[in-house]
Amino acid sequence: MSGASTIGSTSFVVEANHPALAGHFPGNPVVPGVLILEHVVLAIETTIARRMRLRGLRQVKFLEPLLPGQSAQISLEAGVGMISFCVTRNGSLIAKGVLELAHGTRS
C-alpha cells in the first residue's frame, strides 16, 4: 500500500470449543470470517491503544480456511484514513483487506 507504514503484528488461536464453531460447519469446523475480522479489529485497537470507529470494509478477501487450534498471525499497516491487514498461517496468506476509518479517527 503506497504511503503506508507498519504499525504492528500479533497472533491468535481460536480454540475448538469456541461457541461460533458449533454450526460452522458440523463435523468439519472452520473459523468464520467474522471471527477472524474480530481479531483484526482487536489487534488494531490494541496497537493504537484505543477504540476506533470504522466507516466500513473497503476490501476483504478470505483466501484459505483457518481451522480451530491453528495459530494465525496478523500484520497491520496504516495509511491515510485506513488500515490494511494480512492474516497468515505458517507463512501462507489466508485473509487480507482494508478497513476504512471514520472521519476524526487518526491512524
pLDDT digits (tens, 9 = 90+) for 40-63: 999 988 888 676 778 889 999 999
Least confident of 40-44, 49-53, 85-89, 91-95: 49-53
Reference 10, options 55, 37, 40; nearest CA is 40
Query: What's the whole-model pTM score?
Result: 0.88
What per-residue confidence (pLDDT) applies to 1? Answer: 47
Using pLDDT thresholds of 50, 70 and 90, give the confidence band for residue 26: confident
Q: Is 47 exposed, middle or buried (0-12, 13-18, 19+ CB in 10 A)?
A: middle
Average pLDDT over residues 72-82: 94
Using CA atoms, how far apart are residues 94 and 74, in angstroms rounded to an integer?
10
CATH class of the domain whose range is 5-101: alpha beta
Residues in CB range of 94: below 8 A, 6 or more apart? 36, 62, 63, 64, 65, 66, 72, 87, 88
With 90 as the cut, is the pLDDT of residue 95 above it?
Answer: yes
